[in-house]
Amino acid sequence: MKSKTSESSKTIHTDSVLPADANSLNGLFGGELLARMDRVASIAAAKHSEEVVVTASVNNVSFGEPVPVGSILTIEAKVSRAFNSSMEVFIDVWKQDKMNPKKVKVNEAIYTFVALNNKGKPVKVPQIIPETELEKKRYDGALRRRQLSLVLAGKLEAKDATELRALFD
């Protein structure tokens, strides 16, 4: 199976924040952002694997700044690393004010997707070739984050999380 670049999975979505998307402080509701990121990231994972994908875990989300109603929101997702059937997808989010076109980074998130075959079973996906410095950094950290996610999900014994143990040895 031929490896693919991280860049080839890049998926970008730009949309407005409308009143129906808001919390009681007139900012974007966190759950709405989680759903938008899930959609964009799942497209990046599907592009990479060329299979149907499901969200296996949301490993990290940090809401850096509120996003007021009326903002323009840009969500960019790329597969940072692929394992066997699973893929880590990094998501970066920026807001723009219509009056001030400068983009401000508001959010980062890391989701994991699993590719499934037509029987609903996990299926092998291509490996990732990271190219830029940022892609290489995210690729290198992905194994550690995978082990942490599996430990938290109760699917890996902490003693077998070699990358995590290495942090403390």
Ligand X SMILES: CC(C)(COP(=O)(O)OP(=O)(O)OC[C@H]1O[C@@H](n2cnc3c(N)ncnc32)[C@H](O)[C@@H]1OP(=O)(O)O)[C@@H](O)C(=O)NCCC(=O)NCCS
Residues in the chain: 169
What x-and-dash track marks residues 4-43 binding ligand X by CB under 6 A? ----------------------------------------
Give which of 50, 40, 56 is closest to 118, Cα–Cα: 50
Collapsing DSSP to helix, strand or coil, 26 comes out as coil
Q: Which is nearer to ligand X, 11 or 57 (CB)?
A: 57
Judged by beta carbon, residue 54 or residue 158, the one nearer ligand X is 54
Q: What would the x/- binding string for ligand X be over residues 81 to 120, using CB under 6 A?
A: --xxxx-------------------------x-x------
The CA angle 48-51-55, to the nearest 5 degrees, is 80
153 binds ligand X (CB under 6 A): yes
Segment lying near ligand X (by CB under 6 A), choices 1-9, 18-26, 51-59, 66-74: 51-59
CB within 8 A of 121, min separation 6: which ones?
Answer: none
Q: Minimum distance from CB of 56 to ligand X (Å)?
A: 4
Classify burial at 66, counting beta carbons within 10 Å of its beta carbon; exposed 0-12, middle 13-18, buried 19 or more: middle
Q: How far from chain centre, in Å, is Cα 66?
A: 19
* Residue numbers at the binding site for ligand X (CB under 6 A): 54-57, 83-86, 112, 114, 122, 146, 149-150, 153, 155
